[in-house]
Structure 1
Amino acid sequence: MFRVAKASFSNKLIRSQSSTSVKAKKSNQQINKTTENILPIRISSSKYVAEQRSKARDIVLCLQRKNIKLIAIDFDNTLLSIHTSGYYQGTVDNLIEHIRSTFHYFIQEILDSPAFGHTLHLCIVTFSSQEQLIRKLLQLAFKTSKIDQIILRCNTPEFISTMNENDFLGKEFHLTSAVTELATQRNKTIKQHEILLLDDDVQNILIAEKFGHKVLEIRDGINLDILKEFAYNVLSEC
């Protein structure tokens, strides 16, 4: 009985080991297949990011060659894919999901450019009054001390008090204020035709054109290929 029991246990052990071996083999095969599936995705994703950053870098370099010194980006429906109406009540963490990837790559390359803060400057121009929200959003999205060098021009009560309410001039008050800050606080001179405004509002675009600025109307289909085509083949040299 004892021997039978041992033999029975031994057979069970052998079957168990055999089963475990098969399971392990299958498990390893599954891991290998999973790894094979994941790696191309990771490589593909990494390659995509590298390609996007390269495109954004080319755009920034091209804008510099064409003597653009101040890039002004609208907030709602431009930097963001949504319109906050100036009364966003959610968290910054939720809002970051709405930053267009095109502008995330573009702004990152501007910030990384050796020219940033010297011969190339960036400002956000918006009718929204939520300046602190926008500042926090930029800090969260880009995580660099260079964020402090981005000029924000929002319709805060303080800023509105400096505007002539009798005339609607689109983003001209915002741009003029940014240029004044660059001149008085950073000793940088920016001419009208050295400013590029990116905005989704046609009226803002038309007004900016009348003041001699370079412009690009932003639509929902915006991507880095469109920006690159504009910079290389549409934008004239200053």
Structure 2
Amino acid sequence: MGSSASKEDGSPSPDEDDKRSDSSSCAHYLDHLISIGVRLVVLDFDSTIIDVHTSGRWKESAKSLSKHVRPVFLALMKAVIEQKGLYLAIATQSPQTDLIRKVLKERLPFHHKEIVIKGEDRTWERVDGIPKGGKQQHIEAVKRELDEKCHVQFSSNEILLIDDDFINVGIALSYDFKAITFEKDESIEKILNLTRESAKINADK
């Protein structure tokens, strides 16, 4: 039996067109990130990567939660991991980091181990002198792990945070990070425009 992915006339199906469009948009976005000096992309999980908020109390399976991963972030995460010189992390207030890892394994089976996850699971120590608000402590823990494992360091303006919480984003911006507030159903193009605005804020300081 032939695949149903293409139309009978041999032209791409809408799903194939969408995948090609996502791939092209992500490539364009990564080009922009590199051009503005971003080397570490940090994503929030609840209401950002996924389209629900678990409140750190998800009781169903990782497979069921994996169905809530937004296609835009699935494409973006894969593209970032595959881009040489870029690193990817998740900073979350959820203590369910094992669950998050399983969700990533469901959707990114060949890439999930390359994503650093820092949540409220008491597996890492806070750092004196780093703000306790927002995601600053989480990001500092990410930086420490990547330094230990990959021998790479990052300055503040080489880090991009994407989060649905504008307070977290505001705190990150105040410490010279690049940061954008994600809102429901935004496309790669919209995220690109927001990232450009964040870079301008960074440059004007």
State the aligned residue count.
Answer: 195
Measure, in 2, the Cα distance between the counterparts of 1:53 and 1:134: 24
2:113 to 135, 138, 148: 148
Larger Rg: 1
Question: What residue in structure 1 maps to residue 153 of structure 2?
Answer: 189
Partner of 1:208: 172
Paired letter, 2:96: Q
Counterpart position of 1:82: 52
Deviations 1:10-55, CA, capped at 9 Å, x for gaps: xxxxxxxxxxxxxxxxxxxxxxxxx9x9547952221121011110
Match of 2:186 among 206, 222, 232: 222
Deviations 1:49-71 (A, max 9, x none): 10111101111121012110110
CA-CA distance at 1:233 after TM superposition: 6.2
What residue is the counterpart of 1:136 in the other structure?
102
SS of residue paired to 2:123: helix
Distance across 1 between alignment mates of 2:195 and 2:87: 17
TM-score norm. by structure 2 comes to: 0.86
Q: What amino acid does structure 1 have at the position aligned with 2:61?
A: T
CA deviations 1:136-191 (Å, max 9, x no partner) are: 111110110x32121100100333x5367xx6421000001111122232110100
Counterpart amino acid of residue 54 in structure 1: S
Give, in angstroms, the shift of residue 235 of structure 1.
2.9
1:219 and 1:193 map into 2 onto residues whose CA distance is: 23
1:77-108 CA deviation, whole Å, 9 max, x = no partner?
00011000001001111111111111011111
Deviations 1:186-230 (A, max 9, x none): 110100111100001111111111111000001113111202323
Deviates more, 1:119-128 or 1:146-155: 146-155
Greater displacement, 225-234 / 194-203: 225-234
Q: Which residue of 1 aligns with 2:35?
A: 65
AA paired with 1:134?
Answer: I
* Percentage of matched positions with identical amino acids: 22
**Are the counterparts in 1 of residues 81 and 87 from structure 2 also a CA contact under 8 Å?**
no
Indicate yes or no: 2:122 matched with 1:157.
yes
Displacement after TM superposition at 1:231 (Å): 4.0
Contact preservation (8 Å) 1:55, 1:228: no
Q: Secondary structure at the match of 1:189?
A: coil
Among residues 81, 91, 94, which one is paired with 1:111 in the alignment?
81
Shift of the 232–173 alpha-carbon distance from structure 1 to 2, 3 Å rule, reads closer
Question: Is 2:179–2:198's contact at 8 Å kept on the other side of the alignment?
Answer: no
Query: Residue 55 of structure 1 aligns to which amino acid in structure 2?
Result: S
Is the 2:182–2:191 contact (alpha carbons within 8 Å) kept by the matching residues of 1? no
| Match of residue 140, structure 2, among 170, 173, 176 | 176
Structure richer in helix, relative to its length: 1
Q: Determine the C-alpha separation between the residues in 1 that align with 2:43 and 2:67.
A: 18
- Give the residue type in structure 1 aligned to 2:114: Q
With a CA cutoff of 8 Å and minimum separation of 6, indicate the structure with the bigger relative contact order: 1
